[in-house]
């Protein structure tokens, strides 16, 4: 017996709607090419999905409408945390619990009417703090990949205060609710992205956990290309940053490193792709450092333009001091660009000396100095750093492409069915 009908639940799902929604879309658009998929998602995703011509390949899309709760909750969170998108996300994500309950009731009614699915896979949200009622449907259930449980880094208290990280205590409600409704207990498999996530799973459930990164890369979009002309005194070192302009991304650490490299006599340019509440403040900071014209804030860009910026840079740098995942690092590696990141959270599990460099999170001043030293090393040893870029491409091809991830998931579904037959 092989998997025929797949029930895919993705609270966040839609192309171009943010990183987690992109994860939901990648799962749906790719799994729908292999199985008869019923996608259950939030009604707010309808416009993006229909613009992408969903439902695709004969699949079904079921929209759950909880905007009566989600809209006021989001507006309240925006007023409460005007500078912390992370905190806004955490508060507004309480709507997920309403969505999950409504989805469970809807699917239970359809079961009673005779509907059947071989496997249920809930792909978003990607946190242990979002348990689900869906295991009560009696369908073999896969949850994840999950990426959560990361603590605050030491030495960056001022930055993390801007993120209002005390709000993460809301996650304790999710863990309590998990125990109440038996989400982890009823899951056939839980996919976890990092060791921090695994540590957050109750020990009695860890034997049903399997490692899988929550992010993947479109190899067809992020293609390798030759390095630009080697940097030198007259040829600028092209540095790229991509991400939301929020406190934890710590872009000022990179801007200050660019100033140090320039002061040492090296031509350098930094391109900043992304937007957020700190854009004006960080643009002003670059100007006060005498970097007008050398730090270019280009705002949000479609993925095709992000890929083009990757091809134009020598090195990609993500100075984020609290990064659970690191999808943008994988995109840079897929583009054959070496990467620089902080040895904390997701980047610490993706990056090593073969594909770039990791910096110890010892404090803002030391991180800035270390970034500057590595950027100068790129100039002195271009062949070495170009080879790190090529090694990154090979690593992504082998382990982190979406095609490889969906292949792995398909094998998992089949294994689960086989286990059920032999039980």
CA dist 257 and 268 (Å) reads 11
Q: Are the C-beta atoms of residues 27 and 191 closer than 8 Å to each other?
A: no
414 shares a domain with 358: no
Give the pLDDT mean for 268-295: 95
Alpha carbons within 13 angstroms on the beta-carbon side of residue 42 total 26
Q: Which of 63-67, 150-154, 324-328 has the lowest mean pLDDT?
A: 150-154
225 belongs to a structural domain: no
* Highest-scoring range by mean pLDDT, 90-104, 181-195, 232-246, 284-298: 284-298
Give the percent of the chain with pLDDT over 90: 67
269 shares a domain with 140: no
Give the pLDDT mean for 308-316: 97
235-245 burial, b at 16+ Cβ within 10 Å, e below that, comes to ebbbbbbbbbb
Residue 154 has pLDDT above 90, yes or no: no
Mean pLDDT of the chain: 90
361 belongs to a structural domain: yes
CA dist 197 and 201 (Å) reads 7
CA dist 180 and 316 (Å) reads 44
Domain residues for 258?
Answer: 237-399
Q: Write down the pLDDT at residue 166.
A: 46
Q: Are the C-beta atoms of residues 416 and 189 closer than 8 Å to each other?
A: yes
Q: Report residue 173's pLDDT band, with 50, 70 and 90 as the boundaries.
A: low
Give the pLDDT mean for 165-193: 75
Give the pLDDT mean for 152-175: 60
CA dist 277 and 244 (Å) reads 9
What's the burial of 118, exposed, middle or buried (CB within 10 Å: 0-12/13-18/19+)? buried
132 belongs to a structural domain: yes
Provide the number of structural domains found in the chain: 2
Q: Write down the pLDDT at residue 87.
A: 67
34 belongs to a structural domain: yes
pLDDT tens for each residue of 131-150: 999 999 999 999 999 987 77
Question: CATH code at 297?
Answer: 3.40.50.2000
Give the pLDDT mean for 383-393: 96
Q: Write down the pLDDT at residue 231.
A: 85
Residue 179 has pLDDT above 90, yes or no: no
Give the pLDDT mean for 325-349: 93
Question: Where would I find the H helices in 264-326?
Answer: 279-288, 303-312
Neighbours of 5 (CB within 10 A): 14
């Amino acid at each position: 017996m092989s998997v025929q009908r797949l029930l895919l639940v993705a609270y966040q799902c839609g192309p171009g709607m943010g990183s987690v929604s992109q994860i939901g879309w990648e799962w749906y658009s790719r799994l729908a090419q292999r199985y008869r998929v019923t996608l259950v998602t939030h009604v707010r995703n309808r416009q993006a999905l229909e613009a992408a011509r969903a439902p695709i390949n004969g699949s079904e899309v079921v929209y759950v409408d909880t905007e009566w709760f989600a809209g006021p909750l989001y507006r309240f969170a925006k007023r409460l945390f005007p500078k912390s998108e992370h905190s806004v996300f955490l508060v507004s994500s309480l709507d997920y619990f309403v969505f999950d309950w409504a989805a469970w009731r809807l699917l239970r009614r359809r079961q009673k009417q005779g509907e059947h699915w071989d496997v249920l896979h809930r792909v978003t949200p990607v946190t242990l703090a979002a348990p689900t009622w869906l295991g009560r449907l009696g369908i073999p259930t896969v949850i994840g990949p999950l990426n959560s449980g990361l603590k605050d880094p030491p030495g960056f208290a001022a930055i993390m205060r801007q993120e209002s990280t005390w709000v993460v205590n809301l996650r304790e409600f999710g863990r309590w609710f998990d125990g109440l409704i038996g989400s982890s207990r009823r899951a056939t498999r839980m996919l976890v992205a990092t060791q921090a996530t695994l540590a957050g799973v109750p020990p009695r459930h860890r034997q049903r956990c399997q490692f899988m990164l929550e992010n993947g890369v479109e190899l067809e979009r992020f293609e390798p290309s030759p390095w630009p002309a080697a940097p030198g005194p007259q040829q600028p070192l092209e540095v790229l940053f991509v991400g939301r302009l929020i406190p934890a991304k710590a872009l000022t650490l990179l801007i200050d490193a660019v100033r140090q490299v320039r002061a040492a006599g090296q031509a350098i340019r930094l391109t900043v792709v992304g937007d957020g509440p700190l854009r004006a403040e960080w643009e002003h900071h670059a100007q006060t450092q005498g970097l007008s014209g050398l730090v270019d804030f280009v705002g949000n860009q479609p993925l095709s333009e992000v890929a083009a910026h990757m091809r134009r840079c020598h090195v990609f740098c993500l100075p984020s001091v609290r990064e659970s995942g690191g999808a943008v690092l994988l995109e840079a590696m897929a583009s054959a660009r070496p990467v620089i990141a902080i040895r904390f959270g997701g980047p610490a599990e993706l990056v090593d000396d073969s594909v770039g460099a990791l910096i110890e999170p010892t404090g803002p001043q030391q991180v800035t100095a270390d970034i500057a030293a590595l950027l100068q090393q790129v100039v002195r040893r271009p062949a070495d750093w170009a080879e790190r870029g090529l090694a990154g491409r090979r690593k992504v091809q082998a382990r982190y492409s979406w095609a490889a991830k969906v292949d792995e998931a398909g094998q998992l579904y089949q294994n689960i069915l086989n286990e059920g037959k032999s039980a």
